[in-house]
Amino acid sequence: MKSDRCDFLVIGSGISGLYFALKAAEYGKVIIITKDNSLSGSTRFAQGGVAVSIGEGDSPEKHMKDTLNAGAGLCDEKSVEILVNDGIERIHDLLNMGILFTKDELGNLDLGMEGGHSDKRIIHFLDQTGKNIQNFLLEKIAKNNNIKLMENQMAVDLITEHHMNRNNREKIENCYGIYALDTKTNEICTILANFTLIATGGAGRVYPFSTNPSECTGDGVAMAYRAGCNIRNLEFIQFHPTVLYFDSDPAFLLSEAIRGEGAKLINKQGEYFMKNYHPMEELAPRDIVARSIDSELKKHGDKFVYLDCRSIGQQKMADRFPYIYETLKSKYHLDAAQDLIPVVPAAHYLCGGVLTDYNGLTNIKYLYAAGETASTGVHGANRLASNSLLESLVFSYRAVQDIVHRYDAKRNDRDAFGKIPPWNNKETVHVQEWGIINHLRREIQDIMWDYIGIVRSKPRLDRALKIMDIIQEDVNDYYQRARLTREILELRNIILCARLIIRSCLERDESRGLHFLLEAPEHREDSRMDTIILPESIE
């Protein structure tokens, strides 16, 4: 079996992993793995931009206040303070590295407005900010001899003491790297690392309708939980309010920045309805806008509402949102300057994740998490628009700094690496029942959509967990006897994430932010009572 060795292992090639890799490469050899190509992940789909308080009259204090308001009383204030202050430094670092962002007619960074923000503070590259950042970082990485990027490699499991002694199911303290599956050949290799960063993104594909690309199957959260990590606040799944109502995969997102430029939501009865739900109307936080649309759909029995962009005008739509405008015209035959655009909410962002400290360190030594995989405490019960890319930059950088200052970028237990066994696939067979595996995946997604959507109820959550427990048994059976493939691994991760989400929902008996419970619709007073799921055993 093949094996590799590095100082820093990065699982994922989105903004968190790439920025971490560039900074870590100053201290040692880095390997990045990604289960598709280098452009995998959700980063490239981030249209709006990066929220940072650099505009005249704006301040980190204002940005912090907006973030706390959106988080519905559940944000970790220290984490948010780190975000809004360190974020300015990280943006200046990107600018000094040579990245391009859209500028206004005076040559200053063009600042957009999005929901929940009190000032214009969204820096962007037209309407393809994430893609621009990812391409920029990949160009830098391609020129760095200390970084090796391996495509079509999917992490199977994190390597811990459990793999050296299968009877050890209690004392898990250290991470030594991963077992990785080559998704082209289905061969499994060992990648050993002094330090490992999980940056695999979210779990949008736990749902059937999502803005996330197909690779976002909750791999990092599931893998970390199996290894022994604590998981926090998975009940908070953000549904993006304005996703095009067309059969596309992933769902085509219409950036919140469009509403920031004046677009309005209108129901099929012709009423601009957001004024009935919140004083900020279309620029209310995402949880409120998504629930408002859901309410309108249920009230009238409709399948979608409309986004009315006509007041923005053809020229501004084409100049400010060229990708969205041209895609709507060429692919969907809709002119946003003249036509009403049918939209619905869709699963978008995981606000909880692997519990970390303020530097991205998990409760397992030498194991870090960043980006959407991690729960840093920044987002609370609802993420403020365009805080995600900033969080990725801030906390992946802090992870590198923590490794340098806490560990001097070195390990003291290097003799343990020689005890790690190769992957054992004896007594496994090639499974041909792909139809059943795909059926199980669709069944999980349908249950999540019907039972754990924008509005939830205790009886439906109880019922969903019982069904998921039965499906888990089938999935475990396939995993134990089958030669591993990407499809089996993703199914294994999806069912575990689904069960963790439902368990988290059942733990919170109040409505807060993105978790709206029919039995408790009132909003409770501010609370730092997180939902923590502790690992029960090695699954």
Q: Which residues are catalytic?
A: 286
Q: How many of the other CB atoms lie within 10 Å of CB of 485?
A: 17
Rounded CA-CA distance 98/310 in Å is 36
| Angstrom distance (rounded) from CA 203 to CA 163 | 26
Q: What SS3 state is found at 504?
A: helix
* Single-letter residue type at 42: S
Burial class (CB in 10 A: 0-12, 13-18, 19+), 120: middle
Q: Which of 21, 12, 4 is nearest to 139 (CA)?
A: 21
**How far apart are alpha carbons 515 and 518 in whole angstroms?**
10
Phi–psi pair at 31, nearest 5 degrees: -120, 130
Structure tokens at 127: 């309407």
Among 352, 277, 344, 328, which Cα is nearest to 504's?
352
Q: Which residue has tokens 């009886």?
A: 459
Distance CA 510, CA 525 (A): 10
Backbone torsions φ then ψ of 506, nearest 5 degrees = -70, -25
Upper half-sphere CA count for residue 172 (Cβ side, 13 Å): 28
Which H or E run contains 314?
helix 314-320
The residue among 79, 100, 103 whose CA lies nearest residue 91 is 100
Burial of 160-191, coded b for 16+ CB within 10 Å and e otherwise, reads bbbbeeeeeeeebeebbbbbbbbbeeeebbbb
Tokens of 139: 């160009």
